[in-house]
Amino acid sequence: MKKYQQKSLIAVLTGVLVFVVGSLVLLYFAGHKLAAAIQKDAKQIVNHIDAAVSERRQILFPLNALNFSECSDENLLEMRRALFDAKYVVDIGFFKNNQLVCTTGSGVLKTPINDRTPDYIRNNLESKNDNNIRVRFEPKLKILLFEERIMQVVIVRQGNYNLIMDTAAISRSNIAAPYWEITYKTGSDSFHLAGKSGLSKELASHKQIPFETALMCSDKNTGYCVAVRTPWSEFFADNQFLLIISLILTCLTGVSSALIVDYQIAARRSTNNRVRKGLTKGSFYWTYQPIICLHTGKVIGCEVLARFEDKYGPLYPDEFIPVIRKNNLTWSFTQAMVAKVLKELTELDDLPTGFKVSINIFPCDVELGNVSLLTQEPALINSRFIICLEITEDEYLDTSIAHAHFRTLVDSGFNLSLDDFGTGYSNLRNLQNLSFHQLKIDRTFVQDIATQGLKASMIPNIMELVRKFNYTCVAEGIETTEQEAMLKSAGVHYGQGWKYGRPMKVDKFKRYIAQQTL
């Protein structure tokens, strides 16, 4: 897979991951909001239960305490007084001989009504003198006074009185949950009192999606419990605007994360960043290209050439050299090169004393005086090699400061070589004034030999300058025997190029030297 495809894939996966995580976080908080709403509804319904039970006590206890035996006007008056401030009770009835004989709404009945069997009887623990509480759920009750009205009620009888308690009072309150049920539990039995019948059993017998259900029981009135359920689908339907906005924001976060990661990856893989980190992380390494005496065919030295490779792949010199210059890393780069090269070459016993090692120096380090620091390196000064500093033609060389530094280097035993002659800032005064020992003919002159181009025709003129200033001459980029023969006939002393050997790492260079000495 290509690098840009890998980078894009990582960015996309990051965006997807952020979107998924964001959606899960959104879902988590939505779940907690849903659970909080359900818990709020459950608590509110439990409060209704406690209030209804309290209201039942406040009505039935005093009425039974009056000990009426007949449905007299006085009895009806007390019943209607008790009903006046009731919130849950809509009618009160009076029983005689287990028959309903009068109600607050209808007064004295023409025909008494027999009491029905209760759904359950709750032991009355509130008072030893009161009768047990008989409870019956009526899903469709017609009140005598308004027979056209059908109500879902709970009928509670205690002693000679019963209460008709309307469950709609709970529904009319601020309950957001669409499904809820009130039950009374005694032992293993559970009795429906209000809401959606069977909801409690349904929640107990089936696995539910997290957060959408709640079960709560009253602490004040043992046995009364409420089950509440709000499906996720209805929760999302009620909050669809907020959900859409949240999903859009999550999506934008995912896209933004992908773009940021893409930018970060691009920044990390940028040549500038890679080169800066490469100096400290060992991404640079050095190769050695042999320099051959054209007249004897023997290896007399080598040029040190920098290479770069990190986890993102290699960089070519024309990519990393401008970055080194731009970021003022030239001297750090040179120091790292000198230290590594001396260590590697010193360990090669096959290299003879006087072996020439050519190292490239940045012209700006000449002007800044950094090159003079090389004279303070004992490893360089005491080396068994001839250290040749190759400096590319540049306007920095045409200064008195540069000239002074060059003399210091020469006095310390370094050789100086003018690199890539003919391609830079050349003039005869430089050749005459600078303390150089060697001139290198650029490869473009050598490659022109095959086509007999203009640059190739200039080689004899270059050699006249070499002889005039008593330099030695090295030709770069020799690849063919024809090029070698013409350069040799022109008087060029040394050559380097793929004809003799490509730049190689120290281990391969060691084997190359060993083969040359056989």
pLDDT digits (tens, 9 = 90+) for 487-502: 999 999 999 999 999 9
* Among 235, 259, 289, residue at a domain's last position: 235
- State both tokens at 429: 């005064």
With 80 as the cut, is the pLDDT of residue 245 above it? yes
| Domain assignment of residue 503, given as a range | 271-515
Q: Provide mean pLDDT across the span 49-67.
A: 93
Identify the three-state secondary structure at position 16: helix
Cα dihedral: 381, 387, 393, 397 (round 10): 20
Instruction: Report pLDDT for 129.
Output: 47
Rounded CA-CA distance 264/174 in Å is 52
pLDDT at 7: 60
Of 25-29, 381-385, 387-391, the one with minimum mean pLDDT is: 25-29
Q: Is the pLDDT of residue 9 over 80?
A: no
What DSSP character marks residue 389? Answer: E
Alpha-carbon distance of 303 to 503, in angstroms, equals: 8
- Boundary (domain end) residue, out of 210, 235, 260: 235
Rounded to whole angstroms, the Cα distance separating 495 from 262 reads 47
- Is residue 259 pLDDT above 90, yes or no? no
Helix ranges restricted to H, 149-239? 168-171, 199-205, 232-238
> Would you tell me how many other CB atoms lie within 10 Å of the CB of residue 335?
15
Domain annotation covers residue 247: no
Same domain membership, residue 360 and residue 484 = yes
d(CA 505, CA 12): 39
Residues 82, 83, 86, 91, CA torsion sign:
positive
- Helix, strand, or coil here: 504? strand
So what's the pLDDT on residue 134?
A: 92
User: Is residue 206 packed enough to be buried (19+ CB in 10 Å), middle (13-18) or exposed (0-12)?
Assistant: exposed
Question: What integer pLDDT is reported at residue 210 of this predicted model?
Answer: 82
pLDDT at 235: 79
Could you tell me the pLDDT band of residue 156, with boundaries at 50, 70 and 90? Answer: very high
Query: What's the pLDDT band for 70 if we cut at 50, 70, 90?
Result: very high
Q: Given this model, what pLDDT does residue 88 score? A: 92
Q: Where are the beta strands (DSSP E) in 294-350?
A: 299-310, 313-315
Nearest to 304 by CA among 266, 338, 335: 338
pLDDT of residue 50: 93
> Could you tell me if 226 and 362 lie in one domain?
no
425 and 280 in one domain?
A: yes
> For residue 259, is it within any domain?
no
Same domain, 204 and 308: no
| Residue 150, pLDDT score | 82
Percent of the chain with pLDDT over 70: 90
Report the pLDDT averaged over residues 459-484: 90
Burial class (CB in 10 A: 0-12, 13-18, 19+), 480: middle
* pLDDT tens digits along 277-299: 888 888 999 999 999 999 999 99
Residues 191 and 293 in one domain: no
* Sign of the Cα pseudo-torsion (381, 383, 385, 388, in order): negative
Asked if residue 456 is part of any domain, the answer here is yes
Same domain, 349 and 225: no
- Domain co-membership, 282 together with 360: yes
144 and 45 together in one domain: yes
Asked whether residue 43 falls in the same domain as residue 152, the answer is: yes
**Do 211 and 347 share a structural domain?**
no
- Indicate if the pLDDT at residue 69 is higher than 80: yes
Task: Please say which residue of 220, 235, 250 terminates a domain.
Answer: 235
455 alpha-carbon distance from chain centroid: 57
Residue 241 lies in a domain: no
Is the pLDDT assigned to residue 128 strictly greater than 80?
no
In angstroms, rounded to a whole number, what is the distance separating the alpha carbons of residues 71 and 392?
Answer: 125
The Cα-based distances of 319 to 282, 336, 444, 461 in angstroms read 17, 19, 20, 33
Give the mean model confidence (pLDDT) for residues 78-104: 93
How many structural domains compose the chain? Answer: 2
Confidence of residue 17 (pLDDT cuts 50, 70, 90): confident
In a domain, residue 5? The reply is no
Has residue 202 got a pLDDT over 90?
A: no
Q: Of all residues in the chain, what percent carry a pLDDT higher than 90?
A: 42
Q: What is the pLDDT of residue 158?
A: 93
Candidate from 5-9, 40-44, 294-298 with smallest mean pLDDT: 5-9
Q: What angle do CA 268, 273, 277 make, to 5 degrees?
A: 105
- Global pTM reads 0.56
Average pLDDT, the chain: 85
Could you tell me if residue 1 is inside a domain? no
Pair (210, 347) in one structural domain: no
Residue corresponding to tokens 């027999």? 114
CA–CA dist 39, 457 (Å, integer): 96
In a domain, 240, yes or no: no
Q: 370 Cβ partners below 8 Å, 6+ apart?
A: 330, 331, 334
Q: Residue 406: pLDDT band by 50, 70, 90 thresholds?
A: confident
Please list the residues that pair with 100 across neighbouring strands: 95, 113
Cα-based distances in Å from 242 to 30, 237, 298, 512: 10, 10, 82, 73
Cα–Cα dist 260/4, whole Å: 15
Are 223 and 346 part of one and the same domain? no
Q: Is there a domain that residue 383 lies in? A: yes
CATH number for the domain spanning 303: value is: 3.20.20.450
Whether the CB-CB separation of 140 and 124 falls below 8 Å is answered with: no
User: Mean pLDDT over residues 169-183, rounded?
Assistant: 86
Residue 289 to residue 500: CA distance in whole angstroms:
9
In this prediction, residue 125 carries a pLDDT of: 55
In the block, residue with structure tokens 């013409």: 486
